[in-house]
Structure 1
Amino acid sequence: MMYEHPLAYLLGIEGIALLRAFVGEGDRDFVEARLAEVRRLLENEELAGAGVEVRRLDTVEGYRAWAGTYDDPGNAAFADEAVVGEIVDGLPAGVALDAACGTGRFARSLAGRGHRVIGVDSSAAMLDVARERVPEGEFRVGDLRALPVADDGVDLAVCALALTHVRDLGPVMGEFARVLRPGGHLVVSDVHPEAVARGSIPSLRDAGGRPARLASHRHLVGDYLRAALAAGLRPLRCEEPRRAAAGERPAPTGTLGPWDLWPWCLNDLVPEAAEAAAAPALLIWHFQLDLKSA
C-alpha cells in the first residue's frame, strides 16, 4: 500500500517552485507569495486529515479495471500523438507493431497510414476494445519482455506510455531490436521522469472503488539511451513535450477536487507555484536499428 497526502503533494510543488526561485527563476515577491501560501496550506483544516491509503496495481489488474473508461475524453487527451504521428509520417508503410497497444490508439492510426498492424498487450480486456476499434489488425496477448512476434518480423515498432511500468528497460529494448528488421524504426513515448517525480502516475479505482495507482518506475533520460544503444538501436530524435500552457487549461477552481483519483487537480490550489514547478510531460524517442544488427 502507498500513503498519499494532499499536503505532501502541495508542499512538494511549493518546494520545487522555491528551489527554482533560489537559482534566479523568481523574484522577491514570488518567494514571499510562496512562503505565505505554504503557511495557508499548513493551516487548512480540510487538507490536514485528507491522507489516503492507495493500492498499487500491476498492469494486468490495473488495465483490466481501466479498460472500459481508458478512452473517455478526460483520459484521451494524449500529448504524444502529434509528435509520434509526425515521425511515423516520414516512414514508409510496412508491418507495424503497436507494443503495449492498449485499446488500439496507435494501432488505428498506423492502420490508417497503410501499415499492416500487429498489436500486443498484456491486458485481454484492453485487446477486446482494440479488436473492435481496429478490425483489420492482428492482436495478441503478450509481454513486452517476450513479444509474441517473429525475429525480424516488423518494419516499425511503436510503444506508447508503457515503459514507465517496466522495471528494467534493457530486456524490452532487446526485444524491440529482435523483432525489428535491420534498419527498422522504433518510436517510444513515455511519461517524462520529471513528471513521474511530480506524481504523474496513472490513477484509477479498483474493483472496490478504492483509489489505486498503476505500478510505475522513474527512468532517467539516460536510462532509455543506454538500454537502446546496448540493443543496437541508434537515436534519431528526442522530444520532451510539455503540458498545455496555463491559458489553454480550465481556470483553477481554488477548491479541493477529487485528488485521490486525479492528484493533479491539487495544482488548482497553488496555480502559480504549479506553473513555476512545471516539467515536461512526456519523453518521445525515435530510434533506428543498426543495419549491422542483422
Structure 2
Amino acid sequence: MIYEHPLAYLLGLEGIALMRAFTGEFGRDFAEARIAEIRALLDDEALAGAGVEVARVDTVEGYRIWSGTYDGPNSAFDIDEPVVDAIVGGLPAGAALDAACGTGRFAAFLAERGHQVLGVDGSPEMLALARERVPQAEFRLGDLHRLPVPDESVDLVVCALALTHVPELGPVLAEFARVLRPGGSLVISDVHPERVTRGNAPPVRLPDGRPGRLVTHRHLTGDYVRAALAAGLDVRRCEEPRLPAANRPTAATPSPQDAPTALGPWELWPWCLSELAPEAAQAANAGVPAMLIWHFRRPGP
C-alpha cells in the first residue's frame, strides 16, 4: 500500500526547488518565497487531511484495467517515437520482437517499416487489441523473464514503457540478449528515473473504485548499462529527451488567499498538484529529462 499525501508531494517540490536555489540557480527572493509558501501550505486546512491510501497493482491487473483507454492521449508516445524511429530507421528490416507490446503501438511501427513482427505481452486484453491493430503480426502471451521466443531468432528487440515495472533489469536484458541474433539490436524506451522520482507511475481505478498505481521501480542510468554489459551487449546510443515546450507545466495564476484549495481528481495527481505551487514545480522540474532511450547491440557480424 502507498500513502499519497498531496502535502508531501508539494513539500517535496519545494525542497527540490530550494536545493537548486541553495546551489546558486535561484536567488534570495526565490528562496524566501519558497519558505513562505511552505509555511502557507502547512497552515492550509484543506491539505491537512487529504492523504489517500493507494493500492499497488501488478501489471497484469493494471493493464487489464487500462487497456480500454491506453491509446488515448499520451505525451510519452510523442517523445519516444521520433528517437526510436531514428534508431530503427538505420537498421535493415528483419525479424523483430516487440517485447511488452501492449496494444501494438510499436508492432505497427515495425511492420510499416518492413519487419516481420512478433509481439509478446503479459496482458490478454492488450494482446487482443494488438491483434486487431496489426493483423499481419504474430502475438504471444508471455513474460519478459521467460520470453516464448527461441534462442537467436530475431534481429531486433524493441521494448517500450515496460522496464520500470520490473524490479531488476538484469534477468530481462539477459532474455533480450538470448533471443537476439549476433549483430542484432535492442532498443529500449522508458520513463526517466528522475520522472519516476517525481511520481510518474500510472494510475488506475480498481473495480471497487479504490485508487491504485501500477508497480513502478526506479532504475538509474547506470543500472541499464551494468545489466546490458553483463548480458554481453554493447552500448551504441543513449538519449534523454525532455518534454516539448508545449507540454511543460506552466505557472498557474495564484488563487486568492481566501479561495479554497483545489486538489483536483486523484487520477491527475501529482501533476495537477503542481498548480498549488507553480514556481516551485517549474524550478524542481526545469531541465529534467522525460524519458531514457537506449540502443544496445549484441556483438557479431
Same fold per superposition (TM over 0.5):
yes
What residue in structure 1 maps to residue 278 of structure 2?
A: 271
- In 1, the alpha carbon distance for the partners of 2:291 and 2:25 equals 23
Q: CA contact under 8 A between 2:251 and 2:278: conserved in structure 1?
A: no
Give, in whole Å, the separation in 2 of the partners of 1:252 and 1:144.
42
- Which residue is 1:161 aligned to? 161
Mapped to 1, the partners of 2:177 and 2:83 lie a distance apart of 22
Q: How does 1:205-216 map to 2 (within 5 A)?
A: 205-216=205-216
Q: Distance in 2 between matches of 1:220 and 1:201?
A: 16
Give the aligned partner of residue 39 of structure 2.
39
Pick closer, same or farther for the CA change 1:256–1:244 going to 2, 3 Å: farther
C-alpha separation between the residues in 2 aligned to 1:32 and 1:251?
18
Does 1:171 find its partner at 2:178?
no
Listed as ranges, the gaps of 5+ residues in structure 2 are: 255-261
Q: Deviations along 1:230-258, whole A, 9 cap, x unmatched?
A: 11110011111122336755773764222
Return the TM-score normalized by structure 1: 0.94
Give yes or no for contact 1:191–1:283 (8 Å, CA) kept in 2. yes
1:24-80 C-alpha deviation (Å, 9 max, x unpaired): 111111111111211221122222111100000110011001000111125775421
After TM superposition, give the deviation of residue 262 of structure 1 in Å: 3.4
Q: 2: CA distance between counterparts of 1:191 and 1:43?
A: 34
- The one-character-per-residue Cα deviations of 1:143-201 (angstroms, maximum 9, x if unpaired) are 00111111111111000011111111111011000111101000001111111111111
Q: Which residue of structure 2 lines up, in the alignment, with residue 287 of structure 1?
A: 296
Task: Give the whole-Å Cα distance in 2 for the aligned partners of 1:41 and 1:120.
Answer: 46
SS in 2 for 1:139: strand
Deviates more, 1:96-105 or 1:257-266: 257-266
On the 8 A contact 2:249/2:282 being kept in 1, the answer is no
Moved over 3 A (4+): 74-78, 246-255, 259-262
Indicate the larger mover: 61-70 or 29-38: 29-38
- Measured in 2, the distance between the counterparts of 1:268 and 1:192 equals 22
CA contact (8 A) 2:237 2:296 kept: yes
The alignment partner of 1:285 has SS state of: strand
**1:291–1:153 distance in 2 versus 1, CA, 3 Å:** same
Listed as ranges, the matches of 1:53-132 within 5 Å are 53-74=53-74, 77-132=77-132
How far apart are the structure 1 equivalents of 2:74 and 2:230? 37
Matched residue SS, 2:126: helix
User: 3-state SS of the aligned residue for 2:218?
Assistant: coil
Instruction: Assess if the C-alpha contact under 8 Å between 2:236 and 2:297 holds in 1.
Output: yes
Instruction: State the alpha-carbon separation in 1 of the partners of residues 274 and 91 from structure 2.
Output: 39
Q: Which runs of 5+ in 1 are unaligned?
A: none
In the alignment, residue 127 of structure 1 is paired with which amino acid?
L
Select which of 240, 265, 283 maps to 1:258: 265
Q: Distance in 2 between matches of 1:85 and 1:140?
A: 24
Q: Deviations over 1:114-141 (max 9, x none)?
A: 1111100000000011111111111100
**8 Å contact kept, 1:193–1:220:** yes
Match of 2:225 in 1: 225
For 2:218 and 2:74, how far apart are their aligned partners in 1? 24
* Structure 1 letter corresponding to 2:266: W
Q: 1:232 to 1:136 in 2, by over 3 A?
A: same
8 A contact 1:235–1:287 mirrored in 2? yes
Cα RMSD, aligned residues only: 1.7
CA distance in 1, matches of 2:253, 2:60: 35
* Residue 229 of structure 1, CA deviation: 0.4
Tell me if the contact between 1:204 and 1:261 (Cα under 8 Å) persists in the aligned partners. no
For 2:253 and 2:76, the matched residues in 1 are separated by 22
- Is structure 2 residue 22 aligned with structure 1 residue 22? yes
Instruction: Report which stretch shifted further, 138-147 or 271-280.
Output: 271-280
Distance 2:77 2:189 in 1: 14
In structure 1, distance between residues paired with 2:121 and 2:271: 27
- Equivalent pairs counted in the alignment come to 292
Partner of 2:194: 194
Give percent identity, aligned residues only: 68
The residue type paired with residue 172 of structure 1 is V
- Tell me the secondary structure at the aligned position of residue 24 of structure 2: helix
* Change over 3 Å in CA distance of 1:74–1:84 after alignment to 2: closer
